[in-house]
Structure formats: C-alpha cells, structure tokens
Structure 1
Amino acid sequence: MSDRRTGILEAATRVIARRGVRGLRMGELAAEAGVSTALIYYHFTDRAGTLRRTLEFISDRADHYTAEQEPSPRSEDPRTDLERVLLRELQDTSEVRENSTAWGELRATAVFEPDLREELARSTHTWVHDIAELLARANPTGTAPAHAAAAERLTALIEGLSVRWLSGSLPLDHARRLLRGAVETELERKRRVGPPGGPGRITDG
C-alpha cells in the first residue's frame, strides 16, 4: 500500500473516531490527510469505497497491535498467548482508542448502510477465526464448533467492554479483569463434560 493511500486511511480513521461515520465528508478527509479530494476518489472511487477500505485498514491495524511482539510468538503456555492477544484490544494508547472507536462507529453505521455489512462480516469472521485457533491451542481436546462459539462470545464481549471503557462507563482495569474472567470461564466450560443422561463432571482435558 502506498504511503499516500495509507495516509488517507489513517486520516479517515481519525475523522470517523472523532466525528462518526456521518461526519466523514470528502472535503474534510482531504484536509485531514493533506491531499486533494480528486486523489481520494482516484484511490477509493467514492465515499462507500473509502468506508470499506477504512474498515479493512482498521482490521489490519488491530491485527498488528494484537500480534505477538516477542521474537518467539508462541509461549509454552497457549492460555497466556490467548489472554495476551485479547487484552491487547484493551490498551490505553491513542492507536487502540482511535481504532476501537472507529470500529464501533462503523459497526453501528452498518445497521443503516448495507454496503458496509459484507466487509464488516468478513473482518469479524477473520477475527473470530483467529481467536478460535488460539482457543484450540489452549484446549486441544475441544471441538471446532465449541471453539468458534467461544470466540464469538469473547470477541463480542471485547466490543462491548471497549464501548463502555471508551465512553467512560467502565474503568479500563475493571474491563480487563472482566475479560480475564471470561477467558477463565470459557476454558473451564470446555473442561466440563456431561455424559448422556448424567450430571456434568470435570475432566483433566
């Protein structure tokens, strides 16, 4: 991706985070990015195209800051890896605040703008799939459908916690504690096996 194109998408993310999707005007975006409106249309065709590519950019940037930063990405404890990746969605940095706010604005707008839904569904599916893979490493005996369902719950929780934290309804430390508790609950749930016709029991798996 060219530096100019990246700069436009970074500017679009800032404008959406600050003013919402409805506040994104090509003229304001051009001023924010320091380019002409003609260049924006050249790269993204129209406003709808700009929004779709911005959503893709936000998703890719989240992948970057949640990725492992250590030389050896995977530790000897898959559960630690899972928790670390999830908690990186709740960091008090300008990048995470901006990204999470813009993501929430785009998701809310997709209720009224069908053009956004396909890209949003694709990005969400990728996110859920990635978390399901981490859950599978943390609990190899679990089933793929169970991991996918747990990933759906955890990613939905992160979105809700982010909104409450960013809007000042929930302290960040408490949001992170709630997320850790949810991870614990999901992993413990997978250790509960209910034999047909009998009560559930705890296994070592």
Structure 2
Amino acid sequence: MTSPLSSLHAPTHNRRDRILAAAARCIAEHGIRRFRMQDVVREAGVSAGLLYYHFTDRSGLLAATLAYVNDVAAEPAAQSGAQASRNALIDNLVAEITDSADNRAHAATWHEIGASAVFDGDTARHLAATDAAWQGRIAAALGELGCAPAEASTLALSAVALVDGLLSRWLSARISTDEARHALRAALDRLFPS
C-alpha cells in the first residue's frame, strides 16, 4: 500500500535534501517523541555515517528539518512573484492549508517541532529563527505593497500567528479545510491594507 506521504519521495536535489525530506516524513508519520535518527537513515536510504556527516545530532537535524519545511512552503511564493500583489500574498498564505499529503505532512512536522520547543531551549531558538525568516518574507512583501517597515513587521507577525493557529486547529480536525481557508482569507483581507 502506498503511504499518503509517498509524494514526499519526489526526487531531491541532493542527499542532504533527501535526508531532510525523510526526516519530515518520519516526524509527520510518527510524531516528535518517536522520532529516531535510525528511522531517518532507513527512510532516506542513506548510511548513518552520511546522516551524521550532514547533521551531528538529533537537535541539528530537527533544526534543519524545520528550516527545510519553511523553505519548501516559501517556494510557491517565490516562484509566483507573490510579493507583487496583495491578493497573491493572501493566496499564498491561504495555500498553506490544503488537503495535499505534502502540505499536511509539512504542517504536522512544523507543529510537532513547535510543540517540542516548549520544553527544549535549542529547538525554541531554531523555531524563533525560522519564524523570523517567515515573518521577514511576509514583511518584505508588505513593504513592496507600500507598508512602512514597522507596520509591515506587525502585520507579518499577525499573519504568521493566524496561519499557525488555524493550521493547528485544522491539523487536529477541530475545523475543516474549507473553514480554515475561509477564516484565514477573511482575516487577512481585513488585516492587509488595500
């Protein structure tokens, strides 16, 4: 039987990316508590030596996986030139919530690592840096739309909090995909200046 996350097996650019994609799949399928380096070795089809060459420990692999998931989520925005229009920016943020296996897996990975950050200072620091990069991309897009830097930063923080909160509710089946997307679009439409 094919795993619902099998699309995450798509060809990757290099072994490091293959390891990160495998780590994201492992976290999404089993959660952070059952996340083991040996499972990533098996899932990625690489040697333990290669895994430890790229990532010296579990914490480093988790941090890199978090950055990888964040970068993958940012790719559509970069490819579509989302910074050029308000509607495209909103569309790209709403696209964080879809029923695709890849999207659900990446969202689950993000939230699993985020939850563990409550108890782990290193993970919390990595999460803060990744959040700052995500907020920075949104703030830059808002700046291109004419927002002053301070306003763009505040709006970006609010947008990230909205996406994060609705993703959490959606992942735990407290709201449907349509409800989450509708609520996010309505909130961002009110939040971002016309």
Query: In the alignment, does 2:36 pair up with 1:29?
Result: no
2:118 aligned with 1:107: no
Q: How does 1:36-55 map to 2 (within 5 A)?
A: 36-55=47-66
How far, CA to CA, are the matches of 1:24 and 1:44 in structure 2?
Answer: 15
Shift of 1:74: 5.4
Deviations 1:4-32 (A, max 9, x none): 22111111001111112221112222111
Query: In percent, how many aligned pairs have the same letter?
Result: 37
3-state SS, counterpart of residue 21 of structure 1: coil
Matched, 1:64 2:71: no
Distance of 1:92 and 1:61 partners within structure 2: 16
Q: Does 1:145 align with 2:156?
A: no
Higher Rg of the two aligned structures: 1
Counterpart of 2:22 in structure 1 is 11
Looking at structure 2, the residues matched to 75 and 29 of structure 1 have their Cα atoms a distance apart, in angstroms, of 35
Contact 2:97 2:103 in 1 (8 A): yes
Contact 2:62 2:123 in 1 (8 A): yes
Residues in 2 aligned to 1:80 and 1:120: alpha-carbon distance in whole angstroms? 28
**Contact 1:82-1:134 within 8 A present in 2 as well:** yes
Matched to 1:104, the amino acid is: H
Partner in structure 2 of residue 202 of structure 1: none
Alpha-carbon contact 1:20-1:105 (below 8 Å) kept? yes
1:165 aligned residue: 170
Distance 1:92 1:186, change over 3 A: same
Alignment of 1:186 with 2:191, yes or no, is: yes
TM-score, normalised relative to structure 1: 0.81
Q: Within 1, Cα distance between the matches of 2:121 and 2:82?
A: 38
Q: Using CA pairs below 8 Å that are at least 6 residues apart, which structure has the higher relative contact order?
A: 2
1:155 to 156, 160, 174: 160
Q: 1:75 to 1:158 in 2, by over 3 A?
A: closer
1:138-181, Cα deviation, whole Å (9 max, x unpaired)? 4x2x4321221111111111011111112211111111111111
Name which of structure 1's ranges 98-107 and 58-67 shifts more when overlaid on structure 2.
58-67
TM-score normalised by L of structure 2: 0.85
Over 3 Å counting, the alpha-carbon distance change for 1:67 and 1:74 in structure 2 is closer
Gaps of 5+ in 2: 1-11
What is the root-mean-square deviation in Å for CA atoms of aligned residues? 2.1
